[in-house]
Amino acid sequence: MVNFLIFIEKFPKYSKRDIDVGKTPIYVYNLCSIIRESFCLSYSIRKNNNLYLYFESVQLLIKFVGKKLRFLGSDERSQALLLKRALDKINGDKKVKTQEWEKSTPGIFVKRLPNSNSILENIDNILRNKIVYIAEFENKDLYSDVTSLNDSDDMSEYCYILPYPQNSQSSLRFLQVIKENYSLKYINLSNIKGIENKILIINFRIDQSTDVNKEIEK
C-alpha cells in the first residue's frame, strides 16, 4: 500500500462556476494535478495508492482511497468538483464538526483534526520505519540520513510526505513533531519541479520495481 501525504498550508476557495467557465485557480489546478498523478492511469485507477491532503489552516484531512474511488476522471473538472465537494462537506454551510471520518463520495473521506500532531495516526497501514519526507534542501541542516529514491527498499510500503509549499514554517513544525515519534528517511527531489511530478516519478519507480519482481517470480 502506497500512501502520499500532502501537507498544505493554504485552504483553497473556489466555486463550481469558476470551474465551469474555465477559471480554476492555479492553486486548485495544482492540487488537481496531484490527485491525477496519484491515481490516474490511461484507463484505470491505481488501486494500491492512498492520498491524504491535510490543510493546516483549517485542520482538515481528506483521504482518497484508491480501492474505493469512484467518479474520478482524468480531467481537471472531475477532480476539482470532487475536491470541492469534500471541502464543502466539512467546511461549508453544513460543515461536519465531529472528529470522525465522514464520507463525501465513494472513496473520498473527510475528517477534522485537533492539530497536525495527529495526522500520521490517521494514515492507513502506516509503518513507523517506512516514512519518507520528500525534501528540498534550502536548509540542509534540517535533514540527516538523506537517501536516494533508487536506494529505498520495497517502495510500495512507504508513506511519502510532501509539503506544499516546501519549507514553510508550518511544514517545518510538522517535521519536528514527526521526527520525535517516527523513524524518517529523507529523499531530495529538488531537481524535479512540482509535487505532481515528484509523485509521478515515485509511481514510475514503484511500477518498475513491481515489473522486475514479476519477472523474477517467473
pLDDT at 67: 96
- Rounded to 5 degrees, φ, ψ at 37 are -70, -20
Half-sphere exposure of residue 150: CA atoms within 13 angstroms, side-chain side: 0
Could you tell me how many helices (H) and strands (E) the chain has, helices first?
5, 9
Q: Look at residue 92 and tell me whether its pLDDT is greater than 80.
A: no
User: Which triple of cell numbers denotes residue 176?
Assistant: 519536528
**Distance in angstroms (rounded) separating the CA atoms of residues 26 and 80:** 11
Q: Are 40 and 51 in contact (CB under 8 A)?
A: no
Domain coverage including residue 145: 2-217
Tell me the CA distances in angstroms from 210 to 12, 156, 178, 203, 215, one per residue in order. 36, 9, 29, 10, 9
**Distance in angstroms (rounded) separating the CA atoms of residues 107 and 8:** 21
Q: Give pLDDT tens digits for 18-48.
A: 999 988 899 999 999 999 999 999 889 999 9
- Rounded to 5 degrees, φ, ψ at 103 are -75, 130
Q: Give pLDDT tens digits for 60-78.
A: 999 999 999 999 988 999 9
Q: Look at residue 103 and tell me whether its pLDDT is greater than 80.
A: yes
Of residues 180 and 215, the one with the higher pLDDT is 180
pLDDT at 91: 72
Burial level of 40, CB count in 10 A (0-12/13-18/19+)? middle
The gap between the terminal CA atoms of the chain, to the nearest Å, is: 23
Sorting pLDDT into bands at 50, 70 and 90, what band is 160? very high
Q: Look at residue 215 and tell me whether its pLDDT is greater than 90.
A: no
How many domains is the chain built from?
1
**Distance in angstroms (rounded) separating the CA atoms of residues 193 and 55:** 21
Q: Give pLDDT tens digits for 140-151.
A: 566 667 887 877
DSSP H helical segments within 21-168, as ranges? 26-39, 76-91
| CATH at 190 | 3.40.1280.10
For residues 177-182, average pLDDT: 89
